[in-house]
Amino acid sequence: MLEPGATIPDLTVVDQREEIKPLRARLGPQGAVIYFYPKDNTPGCTLEANDFQALSRSFADLGYAIIGISKDSVKSHVGFCAKHGLEFTLLSDGDGALCQAFGVWQEKVFCGKTSMGIVRSTFIVDGAGVVQKVYGQVKTKGHAATVLADLGQRT
Q: How far is CA 143 from the centre of its chain?
A: 12
Q: How far is CA 149 from the centre of its chain?
A: 17
Report pLDDT for 120. Answer: 95
Q: What is the mean pLDDT of the chain?
A: 95
From 147, 118, 113, select the one nearest 133 (Cα to Cα). Answer: 147
Torsion from C-alpha of 141, 98, 39, 104, nearest 10 degrees: -50
Q: Mean of the pLDDT values across residues 78-82?
A: 97
Residue 5 lies in a domain: no
CATH number for the domain spanning 70: value is 3.40.30.10
Question: 55 vs 14, 87, 142, 145, 147, CA distance in Å?
Answer: 24, 11, 11, 8, 10
Q: Mean of the pLDDT values across residues 56-77?
A: 97
The more confident residue out of 112 and 78 is 78
Report pLDDT for 153. Answer: 77
Least confident of 7-16, 63-72, 105-114, 143-152: 105-114
Catalytic annotation, residues: 45
Residue 68 lies in a domain: yes
How many separate domains does the chain show?
A: 1
Q: How many CB atoms lie within 10 A of CB 94?
A: 14
Sign of CA pseudo-dihedral 61, 24, 70, 73: positive
Three-state SS at 3: coil
Q: Mean of the pLDDT values across residues 27-36?
A: 97
Whether residue 108 is predicted with pLDDT greater than 90 in this model: the reply is no
Report pLDDT for 154. Answer: 64
Q: Mean of the pLDDT values across residues 45-55?
A: 96
Tens-digit pLDDT profile for residues 113-155: 888 999 999 999 999 999 999 999 899 999 999 999 999 876 5
Residue 4 lies in a domain: no
Report pLDDT for 109. Answer: 80
Q: Are 56 and 87 in contact (CB under 8 A)?
A: yes
Check residue 143 and give left, alpha or beta (phi > 0: left; psi -120 to 50: alpha). alpha
Report pLDDT for 95. Answer: 95
- DSSP conformational letter for 7: B
| E-assigned strand segments in the chain | 12-15, 20-22, 31-36, 64-70, 89-92, 105-110, 113-118, 121-126, 131-135
Structural domain boundaries, residue 69? 12-154
Whether residue 82 is predicted with pLDDT greater than 70 in this model: the reply is yes
For a pLDDT cut of 70, what percent of the chain falls above it? 99
What is the rounded CA–CA span in Å between residue 72 and residue 96? 10
Residue 1 lies in a domain: no
Residue 92 lies in a domain: yes
